[in-house]
Every structure is written in structure tokens, then in C-alpha cells.
Amino acid sequence: MTWLLIATGFSGAFTCLFIFKKIAHLFTTPRAIAVHFSPSGGCADALINEIHRARHEILVQAYSFTSKPISQALVDAKRRGVKVDIVLDGSNEREQYTELHFFIEHSIHPVIDSHHPIAHNKIMIFDSRTIATGSFNFTHQAEQNNAENLLILKGHPELVDLYKKNFAAHKAHSRAVQINTNAPRSHAA
């Protein structure tokens, strides 16, 4: 009879452990790392997929931003209620093909990190759970022609915290966009 009580206790413990793991999985992101390379290595598609998965917040730091598909995905995310916060390098105010005007037309108001000679970051943070970073600029040229890399990290909360603090520090010393109304717009509405 004792062995039956012991066996029942073990199966109950394993059942509790199974249920605990299932509940914990709902509140944590399993660790995963994905890497993509360009040209034509799927960097843009990987970012767009992460943008589509976002439910609450997307933080973006970008040096150059000329990718129409990525900018459209960010606008679509905003339309579905995701907070989209963007810090750009000052070159976007002068760049002919920048998506800056497209963002503003769709009520996303990037700020300019003019505190540094070049704000060369290429980072997206999704829902405080996923980081995308690497050499990949958010541009058509980076996807189609350049040798680039993109690393997507999931389930690393300590890294997310560091990247979010870095984002906040750069946003804090950024300024509002100074639009040249004569500059051509690149994205067809």
C-alpha cells in the first residue's frame, strides 16, 4: 500500500510540474536566436514578421530608413494599436528616399538623435521580449545589394532591459524632426 501512495505522490508532483511549466510559458519567452544575412537573405522579411507579431510596443533606432515594406509594416502595427516609437539619425531629414515623411503622414512621429555625429544604431525591440539588431540598415539597398546581418534574440530579458535603457537614453537627448517641406517624398500613399 505504501508504494501506491508513493507512486500517487510522484505522479501528482509531475502533474504539478507540468502545469507550472505550461503557466510559466504563458508569461515568458523561450530563448531563441535567429540569424539572417543579405543580400536577399530575408532580413527584411524577418523584421516584418516580428513587426506583425508585436502586440504592445515596437521601439526602433535607425541610421537609414528607406524600406517601404518595413515602414508599411510599422504603420500597420500602429493602426492595430501597437505603440511605435522611432529614433532616427539626422541624415533622414536630408535623405531623398527616407520614409520619415511617410511615418509623419501616418501619425508616427520619429525623433532625431542629433546628439551624435552619426546615430548608427539598427535596432528594433518588440514587446519587451525580442531584440533585432545587426549591421542591417532598414533599407532596400541593405536587403537587395549589401552584405549585411541581422540577429533576432528572444527570451533574453537582461539584454532587453539594456537595450531599452539605451533606447531611452538616446530618445531623451533627441529632438523633434525639422522637416524640409520642399524635400521629395518617397513613399506612395
Angle at 152 between CA 147 and CA 155, to 5 degrees: 165
- What average pLDDT does range 68-88 have in this prediction? 98
CA distances (Å), origin 131, targets 115, 124, 150, 156: 24, 6, 10, 9
* Residue recorded with cell 521629395: 184
Q: What is the DSSP letter of 147?
A: -
Question: Is 89 assigned a catalytic role?
Answer: no
Given 76, 127, 140, 164, the catalytic residue = 127
Residue 22, φ and ψ in degrees, nearest 5: -65, -40
Lowest mean pLDDT among 26-30, 91-95, 98-102, 161-165: 26-30
The DSSP output letter for 131 is E
Q: What angle do CA 128, 130, 124 make, to 5 degrees?
A: 90
Catalytic residue among 68, 76, 85, 120: 120
Give the strands of the sheet with 111-113, arranged side by side.
Answer: 32-38, 148-154, 130-134, 122-126, 57-62, 83-89, 111-113, 175-176
Q: pLDDT tens across 15-28, in order?
A: 766 777 667 656 67
pLDDT confidence of residue 124 = 98
Categorize the per-residue pLDDT at 123 as very low, low, confident or very high, splitting at 50, 70 and 90.
Answer: very high
Task: Provide the pLDDT for residue 29.
Answer: 76
Q: What gap in Å lies between CA 149 and CA 134, rounded to an integer? A: 6
d(CA 85, CA 136): 19
Taking the CA of residue 19 as centre, how many other CA atoms within 13 Å lie in the half-sphere pointing to its CB? 6
Is 127 designated active site?
yes
Overall average pLDDT of the 38-63 stretch: 96
Whole-model pTM: value is 0.83
Considering only CA atoms, which of 45, 19, 18 is closest in space to residue 34? 45
Average pLDDT, the chain: 89
Q: Please say if 21 is a catalytic residue.
A: no
